[in-house]
Copies of this chain bind each other. A is one copy, B any other.
Amino acid sequence: MAQLTSNGSVPTLADVARHANVSTATVSRCLNSPDQVVGETRERVLKAVRELGYAPNFGARALAAKHTNTVGAVIPTMENAVFARGLQAFQEELGRHGKTLLVASSAYNETLEDEQVRALVARGADGLLLIGYDRSSELYAFLAKRKVPALVAWSYAAQKEQPAIGFDNRAAMAELARLVIGHGHRHIACISAPIASNDRARGRVQGIGDAMTEAGLAPDDLLLIETPYGIETGEAAFRQVMADTPETTVVMCANDVLAIGALRAAREMGVRVPEDVSVTGFDDIEIAMLAEPALTTVHVPHREMGRRAATLMIQMLRDGDTGQSVELPTDIRLRRSLGPARSGDLSKASMA
């Protein structure tokens, strides 16, 4: 392929115009509103674009078109299947509307999330998908000033103004906790991701407290262990629970990955699930069903959430709409890891 620019540098709009023998305005029109250019001219311009390896300069193009057809998302981690799954559906639906998704992951770090949001805005993201409500008011103010619509996902709280598509983490976990208490459990432990700047995790822990209060139990008796997301951390937290409060009959984990770690620790310790101790999760990722024993958990419609988030985002971008929040239902998947509370102490004998 011949090098057709005059000086071997990065090809410009003018180079494309010269090569296709049209005006620069025609090249712009071809790239931004191809429908307005007759077929033959369009073909010639696009051929020149291809041959020269021209890519529109963001700055110029954004100024002309006011939008870049790029949507950004900042998620806490790529290593959690729930975000991956929701984003895949989000992207598929955006793709059907000609939009590209760029994703950054913040490692559950608020400062990093802040930087990534600003970087995506600087790179020209038309809109942003963010996970949960918790972030500084400065960042929300920044987005409002920059007129970049932001949609919250994975959380839904009726009283919040920020447009959101998600579910009520607190109510969902309260429902599971009622089922757990219905199985006779009174000594409940909870392993959660750190709750300080994570409204999803915080809501789930509060939900357990709500169900305990309803059942006449003291929510302060809930043993709460906060630990970073991961299988190994869930494993260590389960060991700590059994060492600190051997009277525990159920360990409710705020996500499935921590629960998988708890199941692994139980197996290594010779603690039978659910005969000695029950374990529950939250999310219903694929390994929840494959785990041994299969995990009782809260099923979250991740794909549905991603797909509908895209529909809402497209509407917000097109109509300058503020976005009507959507609450999605969750439901409980009762599997073998939850059983009746054992009576009496966990005998030392049953532990390897």
Contacts and interface: CB of A to CB of B under 8 A. Distances in A.
Given A68-B122, A81-B81, 8 more contacts: A3-B145, A11-B145, A55-B146, A58-B59, A78-B84, A79-B88, A87-B105, A102-B104
Contact of A87 (B61, B78, B291): B78
Q: Is the interface of A mostly helix, strand, loop or mixed?
A: helix
Interface residues of A, number: 63
B103 A104 contact: yes
Contacts of A55: 118, 121-122, 142, 146
A202 to B, nearest CB: 24
A70 B119 contact: yes
Interface of A: 1, 3, 10-11, 50, 52-53, 55-63, 68, 70, 72, 77-79, 81, 83-85, 87-88, 91-92, 95, 100-105, 107, 112, 115-116, 118-124, 138, 141-142, 144-147, 231, 260, 264, 286-287, 290-292
A122 B10 contact: no
Contacts of A100: 104, 115-116, 119
Nearest to A79: B84
A31 to B, nearest CB: 10
Nearest to A59: B59
A47 to B, nearest CB: 12
Contact of A287 (B77, B79, B103, B287): B287
Contacts of A58: 58-59, 62, 122-124
17 contacts: A10-B146, A52-B145, A55-B121, A56-B122, A57-B59, A58-B62, A59-B63, A61-B122, A78-B83, A79-B81, A79-B85, A79-B88, A100-B104, A100-B115, A102-B102, A102-B120, A123-B123
A88 B105 contact: yes
Within the oligomer, what is the number of copies of this chain? Answer: 2
Q: Give 4 closest A-B pairs by Cβ, nearest first.
A: A59-B59, A53-B145, A78-B84, A100-B119
A72 B119 CA distance: 12
Contact of A78 (B63, B88, B142): B88
Nearest to A53: B145
B70 A1 contact: no
Contacts of A79: 81, 84-85, 88
Contacts of A52: 145
Nearest to A137: B1
A337 to B, nearest CB: 14
Contact of A291 (B81, B101, B124, B290): B290
A65 to B, nearest CB: 12
Nearest to A292: B292
